[in-house]
Structure 1
Amino acid sequence: MGTTTNESKPYGTVLIKAKDILDFLLATTDPPTLSDISRGLHASKPTILKILGTLESLGFVWRDTTTKQYFLGTQFVPYAQKAIATFNIVRVARPYLEDLRDKTQETINLGIVRDNKMILVEKLESPTSIKLQSTIGGSMNMYSSAMGKAVLATYDAKELQAYFKSHKLTPMTPHTITTPTKLQQDLKTIQELGVAIDNEENEEEVYCLGAALQKNGELYGAFSISTPKYRLPKERRAAFVRLLLDTRHAIENTL
């Protein structure tokens, strides 16, 4: 006869409800009232009010006595500063990227944006004998790489136009997209699919699948699977897309 355990369940129902309230305050455009929070979380006003009272006493929220609206408290500022100072996307993503490398047996790259370039901060080599040109610390164009295009697909119209104004789309190979119109069409497809493709656009005979890493409107970087094109038939490519999306979901849930 089986037994049930609570080992996998989070401890502290009130803590979970408090986080739901804080998440609600973070997500709303206009500071909410008690009624707004109660309605938005489908919870009773007395319960929400008790938790808000505790959060307010701790400095995690504050209430405007005139408008009755609630705001996130400044107590979060030092926490945020500490989190940013100690955050390392490589450390967070590496276990998931190692798993992706082992499942695909191909090279996995992790990059961040610096000065409108993708800077490679981690590279997990394929166990095969073929080595690709990229090196940790090296840079690549955003418009010609899978990671870069995945990031560009997160830009709004103003950011994208600023990028086009400051960057000439110089061909890296005969397959590089070199006009803003065609690149914008490609970015639209990336937005729909969640996956960016570099089909010999950055390096001949190399095919890459990339995805951006973002959460709560914050962009953390991007990662990609890189492989010689001859090793990626249609069926294997479809499997890689699923693995890429699963890995992105796992990393973003950890952020």
Structure 2
Amino acid sequence: MEQVKENHQKPYGTVLIKAKDILDYLMKADDPPSLADMSAALSSSKPTILKILNTLDMIGFVRRDESTKRYYLGTELIPYAKKALDSFDIAKVARPFLETLRDETNETINLGIVRNDKIVLVEKLESPNSIKLESIIGGTMNMYSSAMGKALLANYSRKHLDDYLETHKLKPLTPNTITSLPKLRQNLKNIQEMGVSIDNEENQPEVLCLGASIMKAGRIYGAFSISSPKYRVNKERQSNFIRLLLNTQHAIEQTL
């Protein structure tokens, strides 16, 4: 893993740190928070939080719903996110291989990385088929319910996995979402043995995803997946997808 240099200098402009705390809270919140919610969660006074929110709203980093008085991340953040994702090396390295995988499967191919215990979609190659899946670059999904997330969780150390499971409630997103810790642990063991993860309508109804991790020398770079409407994937096609996933995984990791 990359080492982070320690910096003992006092930060310039602590209001920037408070603003980041607010943006982080908005990003992680399950539901749009109110001013009172953020004040309590961030242990800061309402007037202080409100001043920062008003400034963030003014520059488009935050959006306030006037009817509900609740806050959302603003659309002005999207160009920054896209620029950051464009500069991320794994997307450049993996893209030619993912394009080949898309052409071989005729299904949607996704590439994701881990940020704040979520999978962030950094690349999406659309299926040429008429029915396409809803997801956006920069969007996030839970690790425990997605193929890419489970592919990475299966490669976590025992302590890292325990820490994740202790701090994240397994909320049902569909009737198929695994919400039992023992069942999820067993599922991750199966993924370790097979080398491929399967999201069988666990993250989105009627969608089947198969995923694989991208790793080299113990470092996790990300994961990729094949996503398809479930009705298009029979047993024979699923077996072929698994073979293609493993071949693509090997090819990408050989170039790292």
TM-score (norm 1): 0.66
Which residue number corresponds to residue 168 of structure 2? 167
Gaps in structure 1 of 5+ consecutive residues: 1-85
Runs of 4+ in 1 over 4 A off after TM superposition: none
Q: Structure 2 matches for 1:3-14, cutoff 5 A?
A: none
Which residue number corresponds to residue 94 of structure 1? 95
1:73-102 alpha-carbon deviations (Å, 9 max, x no partner): xxxxxxxxxxxxx76000000000000000
Quick one: which amino acid aligns to residue 137 of structure 1? G
Instruction: Supply the distance in 1 between the matched residues of 2:174 and 2:88 (Cα, whole angstroms).
Output: 36
How far is 1:180 from its partner? 1.2
How far is 1:165 from its partner? 1.1
Instruction: Supply the distance in 2 between the matched residues of 1:87 and 1:141 (Cα, whole angstroms).
Output: 21
Q: CA RMSD in A?
A: 0.8
Which residue number corresponds to residue 188 of structure 2? 187
Which residue number corresponds to residue 239 of structure 1? 240
The SS at the match of 2:174 is coil
How far is 1:202 from its partner? 0.2
Determine what percentage of the aligned residue pairs are the same residue. 67
The answer as to 2:229 corresponding to 1:219 is no
Instruction: Supply the distance in 2 between the matched residues of 1:130 and 1:124 (Cα, whole angstroms).
Output: 14
How far is 1:177 from its partner? 0.1
Which residue number corresponds to residue 146 of structure 2? 145
Quick one: which amino acid aligns to residue 234 of structure 1? K
Quick one: which amino acid aligns to residue 177 of structure 1? I
Instruction: Supply the distance in 1 between the matched residues of 2:249 and 2:137 (Cα, whole angstroms).
Output: 21
Instruction: Supply the distance in 1 between the matched residues of 2:166 and 2:135 (Cα, whole angstroms).
Output: 27
Which residue number corresponds to residue 111 of structure 1? 112
How far is 1:227 from its partner? 0.3
Gaps in structure 2 of 5+ consecutive residues: 1-86
Paired residues in the alignment total 170
Which residue number corresponds to residue 72 of structure 2? none
Which residue number corresponds to residue 126 of structure 1? 127
Instruction: Supply the distance in 1 between the matched residues of 2:230 and 2:149 (Cα, whole angstroms).
Output: 19
Instruction: Supply the distance in 1 between the matched residues of 2:88 and 2:112 (Cα, whole angstroms).
Output: 15
Which residue number corresponds to residue 7 of structure 2? none
The answer as to 2:208 corresponding to 1:207 is yes
The SS at the match of 2:135 is coil
Quick one: which amino acid aligns to residue 93 of structure 2? V
TM-score (norm 2): 0.66
Larger radius of gyration: 1
